[in-house]
Each structure stands twice: as C-alpha cells, then as structure tokens.
C-alpha cells in the first residue's frame, strides 16, 4: 500500500480561501490523482495557523495574519463530505504544550502531524521578514536549536507523526550550512525521539525545494529506524499534482534501508501496512 498522510487542500497563500478549497469538487481532483498514482490512503492536514483557534496557542504576527478560518468547519467538511483521513499539521511551540493539547482535544482527528517551522519568532522555511537566516545567525546554532526543538516535539507526546524532520535544510545551498557533521545535530533530537512513540515522516517535499533531498536525510532516518520508530510516507502536497511526488525514490530509499511497512492512522490509532504499489 501507499499512503499520503500530509496533504493540504490548497496552496499556502491567503488568497487560497477555505470557501474555494474545502469543496467536494476540489477533493475529487485530489482523489482522482491519488488513484491514478496508486495511492491508497489519503489524509488531509491543513496548517493550524490558518484557523482562528490557533491564536489561543500563539499570537505570532504571521499567524495573526493567517488565522481566518474556522477549525470546526474544516473538520465537519472533511468528515461529512469526504472519505479522507482527517488530520492537522500543528506546530510545536515550546512552552505552549497545554494550549496545543487544548486545541487538539476539540477535534476527532485521525492523525496529528507535529512540525517545527519556527525557532522563537524566526521561521525556518519562510523567506522575508521572519527568515531565521536574515540576522546572520550561526548555522551550527540554528541547526542545533532546530534539532533540540524537534526532540522536544517528539517528547511532548502531542503528535502522531514528526513532519519533514530535517526541514532546517530546506534552503539547500541558498543559505549557510553548518560546519559540523550534520549527525552531531541529528543526535540532539534522538533522546526525545527514542523515548517517544512518534512516527517519522519520510517526505518527498524536500525534492521540490532548494534542498533537492527527501526529508529526512538517510543518516537521520537510519538513526530513527535504529530507535525503532515507524515511518509515515507523505508528499506534503499543496495541489493535486504534488500527490505522491517522486514516490519511486522514497520507496527505493526505504527498501534499501529494509523498511517494509509504513504507518496508517485512523482515530489516532496506528497500524502498519505493507509498503509498495499494489500489483
Ligand atoms: Zn510543514
Ligand atoms: Zn505541510
């Protein structure tokens, strides 16, 4: 089987409104492409910061600008009018664990993705005024803080899956790289990951970005597998055409590393399904 459990029903820009994208017609566009590409399980995971309720967690100016939709309406739409798995991509905001838990308690999720997009107020994957690299930060410090935060996210127990686990590399050669061996930084996340029950997302989205690599890197993925963490396979699609993007490469990587099963999630219960295209 193949899953895609990290899917957005719209691009990230504010013009992509809920009205126009949380529709049966839009979802049909996704399910048609998924079936053409042999993807058996599709789960949607809208960004938490698009919903007004997110401001109970954090009032970052970027969130304030983006938090316009109603979380309950999104959940109702997915449950009542589609047969998609219902998920959400929730940021891990250190110190706000109780508030995150409160928001998550309000929904009957199939799965919750945990993402680290911000270090303090600075964004790891956004250019412009919030770009973490804008201030000339030391790359080793940025990477260390990113992976420490990722480990905390795992340890929080709030999430079923850690999304794009080495997102800090998203810019590839367009931003400074750490001088240290990246494995030093990965190690900073491993206590938290090893003590958690979280699944590790293998995401082909990095292949669409300047990083030109799957998330996570093989070295980091090997550490997670040694910590006996299961794998969730996703594309982080923001359009139907992104679904299952370059899955051949992800499946080959997982096969090389001896991974034969991936995660499916329903009502936050995890099961393992055999990995691969149905023959
Ligand atoms: Zn993300
Ligand atoms: Zn995403």
Q: Three-state SS string across the chain, please? A: CCEEEEECCCCCCCCCCHHHHCCHHHHHHHHHHHHHCCCCEEEEEEEHHHEHHHHHCCCCHHHHHHCCECHHHHHHHHHHHCCCEEEEEEECCCCCHHHHHHHHHCCCCCEEEEECCEECCEECCCCHHHEHHHHCCCHHHHHHHHHHHHHHHHHCCCCCEECCCCHHHCCHHHCCCCCCCHHHHHHHHHHHHHCCCCEEEEEHHHHHCCCCCCECCHHHHHHHHHCCCCEEEECCECCHHHCCCCHHHHHHHHHHCCCCEEEEEECCEEEEEECCCCC
* Ion ligand 2 contact residues with beta carbon within 5 A: 89, 236
Cα 279 to ligand 1 centre (Å): 32
pLDDT digits (tens, 9 = 90+) for 158-197: 999 999 999 999 999 999 999 999 999 999 999 999 999 9
Q: What is the pLDDT of residue 57?
A: 98
CA of 65 to the centre of ligand 1 (A): 17
Low-confidence stretches of the chain (pLDDT < 70) are 279
Ligand 1: centre distance to CA 91 (Å) = 8
Span from the CA of 118 to the centroid of ligand 2 (angstroms):
14
CA of 157 to the centre of ligand 1 (A): 18
pLDDT, tens digit, 9 for 90 and up, residues 65-75? 999 999 999 99
CA of 179 to the centre of ligand 2 (A): 28
User: Closest-lying ligand to the alpha carbon of 236?
Assistant: 2
């Amino acid at each position: 089987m193949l899953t895609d459990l990290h899917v957005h029903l719209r691009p990230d820009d504010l013009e992509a409104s809920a009205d126009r994208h949380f529709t049966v017609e839009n979802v049909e566009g996704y399910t048609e492409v998924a079936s053409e590409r042999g993807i058996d399980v599709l789960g949607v995971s809208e960004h938490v910061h698009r919903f007004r309720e997110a401001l109970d967690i954090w009032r970052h100016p970027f969130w304030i600008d983006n938090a316009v939709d109603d979380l309950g309406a999104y959940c109702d739409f997915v449950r009542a009018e589609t047969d998609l798995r219902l998920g959400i991509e929730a940021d891990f905001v250190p110190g706000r664990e109780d508030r995150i838990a409160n928001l998550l308690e309000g929904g009957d999720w199939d799965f919750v993705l945990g993402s680290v997009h911000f270090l303090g107020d600075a964004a790891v994957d956004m250019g412009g005024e919030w770009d973490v690299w804008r201030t000339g930060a030391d790359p080793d410090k940025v990477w260390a803080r990113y992976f420490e935060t990722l480990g905390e996210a795992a340890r929080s127990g709030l999430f079923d899956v850690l999304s794009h686990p080495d997102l800090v590399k998203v810019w590839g050669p367009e931003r400074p790289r750490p001088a240290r061996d990246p494995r030093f930084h990965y190690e900073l996340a491993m206590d938290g990951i090893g003590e958690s029950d979280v699944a590790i997302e293998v995401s082909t989205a990095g292949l669409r970005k300047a990083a030109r690599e799957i998330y996570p890197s093989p070295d980091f993925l090997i550490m997670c597998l040694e910590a006996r963490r299961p794998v969730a396979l996703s594309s982080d699609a923001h359009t139907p055409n992104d679904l299952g993007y370059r899955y051949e490469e992800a499946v080959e990587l997982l096969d090389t590393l001896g991974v034969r099963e991936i995660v499916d999630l329903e009502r936050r219960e995890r099961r393992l399904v055999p990995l691969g295209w149905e023959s």
